[in-house]
Amino acid sequence: MSPENKHRLSRAAATAAVLAAVSFSLPARAVSDSSSATSEPSAPGTLVAQALAYEHGEGVPKDQRKAALLYCEAARAGDVEAMVGLGWMYANGRGVAHSDAMAAFLFARAADAGHAYAREMQKHVGDDVGSVPDCMRPAETDPPVALMDDSPDPFADLSAGKRKIADLVVKAAPQFKVDPRLALAIIATESNFQPEAQSPKDARGLMQLMSATAARFKVRNRLDIKDNVQGGLAYLRWLLAYYEGRVTLTVAAYNAGEAAVDKYSGVPPYAETRDYVRRVRRLFPDERHSFDPRVAGPSPILGRSTADSSKGAP
C-alpha cells in the first residue's frame, strides 16, 4: 500500500478517536472571528478534529469546503497535522481548487517540522515556491479573506449545452492553476457560454479573446472551444501572477487590459469595465486567488500604497 493510502486510512480511522477526545461544536462561522471580544478562537486540535469530521462525514454531513477552512485556520496557528490535511486537499482538489504550489508550501512547512508523510508528498507536488493560502497570510489592512465561498453554486443549473462547456472548463482550469469558478464567471459574463460570440471590437469565442491576446497565448482559432478556453485560461494565469492573486485587478485587466489598470492604479473609470467587474465578482466573490510568481513579475502598482492599488474598485 502506498504511503498516501496508508496516511488517508490512518486519518479516517483517527477521526472517531479524536472526536471522542475533544468537545465538538462548530463555530457560528466556519472560521472563527479572532477580532471578536466575546469569543475565543478554537484550539488547533479541536479545529483539526472538526476538519477530519467534515472531510470524511463522520457524525456530520460531509463538507470538504468546511474541512478546508478549518484545516487552514489550524494551520495558520501552526498545527502540523492541519498543514498536512490541507496540503492533501490542495494536491487532490478536494474542497479547494487543485494547486500543487499550495500543497508544496504546506507539505514543506510540515516536513520542516519532521512530518514523514509530508516529506514523501513533496516528491509528488514539486518544490515550494512560496504560494501561501490566503487564509494563512498575515493580516493586512483588510479582514482575512475566506478560503472558499459557501454561497450556492451559480453554475449548478446550466442547460445541457452549457454544462458540456462547463465540464471542459472544470477539467482544463486546474492545469493553468485557475479556479474553475473564476473561469466560468468570466465565460458567463463575456459570452454567456456562446462559442460563436463576437463583439463589435472583434473579441471572439467563449472567453472573448482579441486577436492580439490570441497571438500572445498561441491561440490558432478563437472560435474553437478548446483553443479559446486554453488561451483565456493562460491569460488569466498570467494576470493572476502579474497582480499577485488580486481578483478585482485581474478581472478589470481581463476586460480593459493591464495597461489601463496600471495607468489608473486600479479599476479604470470606464462604465463598461466597472459593470463587468461587478458582474464577475457576483459570480466569484473571492478577492484573493493563488498564483505562480514564476509566470510573471508583479505589476508596478503593487509597490504603491494599499489605498492607491485599490483605487477605483467598484
Q: Which residues are catalytic?
A: 190
- Nearest alpha-carbon partner for 216 in 201, 199, 232: 232
Q: How many CB atoms lie within 10 A of CB 141?
A: 8
Task: Classify burial at 226, counting beta carbons within 10 Å of its beta carbon; exposed 0-12, middle 13-18, buried 19 or more.
Answer: exposed
* Residue 250, SS3 per DSSP: helix
C-alpha cell of 273? 469595465
Burial 148-173 (b: 16+ CB within 10 A, else e): beeeeeebeebeeebeebbeebeebb
Q: How far is residue 126's CA from residue 99's CA, in Å, rounded to a whole number?
A: 11
State how far the Cα of 70 lies from the Cα of 73, in Å rounded to an integer.
5
**From residue 203, how far is each of 60, 148, 183, 277, 280 by CA, in Å?**
48, 31, 17, 18, 18
Nearest Cα to Cα of residue 255 among 267, 265, 243: 267
Amino acid letter, residue 238: W
The Cα–Cα gap between 103 and 305 comes to 30
